[in-house]
Amino acid sequence: MEEASSSSEVKALPLPPQHQVFVNFRGEELRNSFVSHLRSALVRHGVNIFIDTNEEKGKPLHVFFQRIEESRIALAIFSVRYTESKWCLNELVKMKECMDKGKLLIIPIFYKVKAYEVRYQKGRFGCVFKNLRNVDVHKKNQWSEALSSVADRIGFSFDGKSDEHNFINGIVEEVKEALSKILLDKTKDAFVYHSKNNSMSVGREKHEIYGLKQRLEELKEKLDLDCEETRILGVVGMPGIGKTTLAREIYETLRCKFLRHGLIQDIRRTSKEHGLDCLPALLLEELLGVTIPDIESTRCAYESYKMELHTHKVLVVLDDVSDKEQIDVLLGRCNWIRQGSRIVIATSDKSLIQDVADYTYVVPQLNHKDGLGHFGRYAFDRHSNIHNNEVIMKLSKEFVHYGRGHPLVLKLLGADLNGKDEDHWKTKLATLAENSSHSIRDVLQVSYDELSQVHKDIFLDIACFRSEDESYIASLLDSSEAASEIKALMNKFMINVSEDRVEMHDLLYTFARELCRRAYAQDGREPHRLWHHQDITDVLKNIEEGAEVRGIFLNMNEMKREMSLDSCTFKSMCGLRYLKIYSSHCPQQCKPNNKINLPDGLNFPLKEVRYLHWLEFPLKEIPPDFNPQNLVDLKLPHSKIERIWSDDKHKDTPKLKWVNLSHSSNLWDISGLSKAQRLVFLNLKGCTSLKSLPEINLVSLEILILSNCSNLKEFRVISQNLETLYLDGTSIKELPLNFNILQRLVILNMKGCAKLKEFPDCLDDLKALKELILSDCWKLQNFPAICERIKVLEILRLDTTTITEIPMISSLQCLCLSKNDHISSLPDNISQLSQLKWLDLKYCKSLTSIPKLPPNLQHLDAHGCCSLKTVSNPLACLTTAQQIYSTFILTNCNKLERSAKEEISSFAQRKCQLLLDAQKRCNVSSLISFSICCYISKIFVSICIFLSISMQNSDSEPLFSICFPGSELPSWFCHEAVGPVLELRMPPHWHENRLAGVALCAVVTFPKSQEQINCFSVKCTFKLEVKEGSWIEFSFPVGRWSNQGNIVANIASEHVFIGYISCSKIFKRLENQYFSSSNPTRSTQSSKCSPTKASLNFMVIDGTSELPRIEVLKCGLRFFKGVGSSGNYLKKLEVKEAEQNLSAEKVSEDWTYGSSSRCNHAVKTCPEQRQVTVTAEVEASPEKADNAEFQIKITPREAQPQPQPRPCSKTLKWACFTCCDFQKHL
């Protein structure tokens, strides 16, 4: 390696060896000419340059790769014959690899070739490359990718006509400047060099691109090569999401299936640098290999080559399309495209392809797993052990979460963090929310710069109101084209609308805020939107600086001290549209946090304001010089306002739609809103000085909130179009006579209207009413007469009232009667309320009996009904179609008679069987409610996790649960134990019984003196031995109880908790994983005819911790088998089996001895007997005659006279599956 020159400049700033400059070039073409001159110039300036002649002879060629890794800068000199050298190309691939990791800066030099010829391998440069022979396709793709990526950087171009000496001097100065930057920042290990347009190439082999396989399959499905029609597919997504990578990969994957194919990359830049007319020439060169010298005639080029183009189907991939004209120029009228061709257009603007593409594919974000892998590819070196650091891995997940599956962002973040220590990672993560990295910002800037000024303003405005309703934002934008402008930004993936809410990616949101702050810092003429409290306070103090302010969003929680404003502070802000002074400390404002004072009042002569939100507004009224002609949303919560504006100043508010004056305790007059004819929402909650409503007619008002207006004694209808009305906590004694005109009223809340004595007889006139809340109206004695026209009321809450006559409304789904001491019984025909799902009877202390309940009831809560003695037989109508989660709570009903408890137990038994039958008939996904699906999903996830590590708890709600006072286990439980632990020995081959459900029972005792418990759960932990000494465990919920009211109460005495859990899939998974005879390596249990140990541990928990003072006295278990079906259409057939397996019979004898059962199941007791006659019951449901499911129940029958059957013992340690036959116990 040559020594550097010893000039004084070099001595003052020596360059260490690792800062060498590697030169990559075609030796035969340039060594003795251009490269020789360049080398001399660099050496003269003290640059540590490396070229191939510096290396010692005799070393392997791969040593050059090591020299590339040692360098900080590389010069890639592209010439016409560059690609003749495969070694040059291999060096370039290595250089690109180092560049992608942020460890090398590559400066391209285009020597008598054009940049786009190198980038796309066109012209003479491209011909040389295409003529390479005996090259692996994969290797050639790597070379092409490296050429495209490196040529995409800013470099130097020499056309042979200018002065070469000056050209070389320019290169030398650029190299010296780059080296100086590296020296000044020795801690900067990663140096990523980006071009102005920041076009980034993923540059990875196929197997290294996370998530690519799935996306390619989805693209292939949409392209459907078997279809004979031409298909044009648009590939769309936000910048950096991976469209270019996907377009390139689909091209490489499918090109072999077409005789003619073409990939045109970076159309955005090409058309900008060389004009639109060059595009058809590029495409024709790709498809036909022809070169069109006359660029101006290319618009007609397709007509000239139409015959030739029609001879074959084509595959055309157009990448990075940014304008509709580009598509028009490239595809023309599409009449040159042969039927069956495939066209792929990748763009960040979906609107460009709406009239062109047959199908659109939106490139999805990476899922968390792929995102983590993609991030790790760039964050960790291949041989680094830092990924074993738990803190680093946790931080990695945080970075991946921040990136939201955006591949380019994850790549740039990973490259920036590569090699950094833990503290740097933490600092970087803490600053990301406020300041994105330069590389990310530059990528997003490209898309932002292409927006029109109108769309730029709208994008930044939307960032101020992220996650708001689309209609709300459209109103604030106050434009006749607001909807179409929002749609335009959606098409460009700058925003998205989800469930009618306008959302913005975190990256774009941070980018928008940075744009706003930069615009203010540069003091440009663009409108300012101020977010940072320091910027805002500077503007508020300097009155003259407010002319360009468009929005102020001041979080008082960020202010360190209070601030007083001059009365003329806002006078110069004639363009102010959005003013928000708020506090993020507490949305309920539990503590005053006002830090803005107006000692001299406020001049507010503004007319452009759309949004005015001022928390704790300190004035008694809005300044009279304010012009609300453009005001859309007025929020003055917790203010000192007494009225909106003076009586003689009833101002026109033609655009006002939303008003929030909640908790303005001094407000007594709202007549200033009389001209707000478009007002749809009015919140006056907590305005305690408000005594009545004025005589105004707000024709558009839909939502009126008067909650806790404690001095409001009279309600006046101020809009016939009300849909939601909150009068809870007011002093209203009666509703007006014209209340029946509220034909559109859906929700009426009068909770806590303690002075309300009667409800008007107009309920049948409120045809849209779905929810009526009269809770805590304790003077309300009578409910209005019920008319058959009431068909939509679903929720009726009459808790803490004195109503004795229960309304029977057929449409009711939820009925709350709790804390009513006057109800002694329910209507006998309550079972006819077929829609009723929720019945709340808590603390109905006079209730003595419960009649038959409706068939679809999911929740009954009768806790604390201390006079309840009897229940119906059956407790509720049971139908075979019942497939929903349900729970019945009868805790602290301590006067229940024994017969009532037995009926409750019998009901639970039938309920379990009906749920089992529902499982037999239906697919799990369609037979139960969404909540149960979620429960089962959690169970399955837990199983999968355990099978790899250990079984996780899956606490959830049981499919059915019931609890009631009692100290004995129901008789239908086959296995029982004293105490919280039940141990079993599962018989050999138990897993072949196709268990579908488990009923669990626990008798729980509560101490007389106990601390207040608001919530607890009864849980059972099931442990199963799968190998000798190896156990698995998972939890089953049995039941839970919670005190949802304000009454201080605990459960007294002993209570029985019963829960049914569907577990067929769990046991099936366990069988496959541990008991499969086809795979004896899984478990020794599968290969031996031996029992399996199992134990169940019941406990009472509060959240996650066990409650030691609450004791489980007894516990029980019953299995339910999952084959066959029950009902009224059963056929029984007898089948004889010649002989049982001798060994199996012996085992059967072993677990028969010593039993003392209460079930009349015939079991074999004579060990000498060898021949048996077996009776099998085969049950089939005629409902599925074509595909009947059969249940075979084998009952040994003695050939000799049979002895009296000995019942199976409930306390025996062997699990009884014969008792799973429910019909035996009915």
Catalytic center residues: 91
Question: How many C-beta neighbours within 10 Å does residue 866 have?
Answer: 15
Radius of gyration of the chain (CA): 40
Residues 6+ apart with CB under 8 A from 751: 728, 729, 773, 774, 775, 776, 777, 797
Query: Which residue's structure tokens are 């101006």?
Result: 296
385-398 burial, b at 16+ Cβ within 10 Å, e below that, comes to ebeeeeebeebbee
Instruction: Give the Cα separation of 312 and 292 in Å (integer).
Output: 21
Residues 6+ apart with CB under 8 A from 1213: 983, 984, 985
Instruction: Give the Cα separation of 569 and 956 in Å (integer).
Output: 57
**Whose CA is closest to 1133, among 1124, 1141, 1142?**
1124
Residues 6+ apart with CB under 8 A from 975: 982, 984, 1116, 1117, 1118, 1210, 1211, 1212, 1215, 1216
Instruction: Give the Cα separation of 837 and 929 in Å (integer).
Output: 13
CA distances from 153 to 117, 439, 751, 990, 1139 (A): 14, 14, 68, 69, 84
CA distances from 317 to 218, 325, 330, 359, 1211 (A): 16, 16, 11, 14, 74
Q: Are 812 and 788 in contact (CB under 8 A)?
A: no
Q: Are 790 and 811 in contact (CB under 8 A)?
A: yes
Give strand ranges (E) for 556-642.
Answer: 563-564, 578-582, 596-597, 611-614, 633-635
Dihedral over Cα of 907, 909, 915, 921: its sign = negative
Q: Are 473 and 410 in contact (CB under 8 A)?
A: no
Query: Which residue's structure tokens are 């066109």?
Result: 122
Instruction: Give the Cα separation of 881 and 1223 in Å (integer).
Output: 19
Burial class (CB in 10 A: 0-12, 13-18, 19+), 656: buried
Structure tokens given for 253: 């994957």
CA-angle at 250, arms to 246 and 256, nearest 5°: 160
Q: Are 175 and 49 in contact (CB under 8 A)?
A: no
33 torsion bin: left (phi>0), alpha (psi -120 to 50), beta (else):
alpha
Instruction: Give the Cα separation of 823 and 847 in Å (integer).
Output: 6
What is the 3-class SS of 716-785, one letter each residue? CCCCCCCCEEECCCCCCCCCCHHHHHCCCCCEEECCCCCCCCECCCCHHHCCCCCEEECCCCCCCCECCC
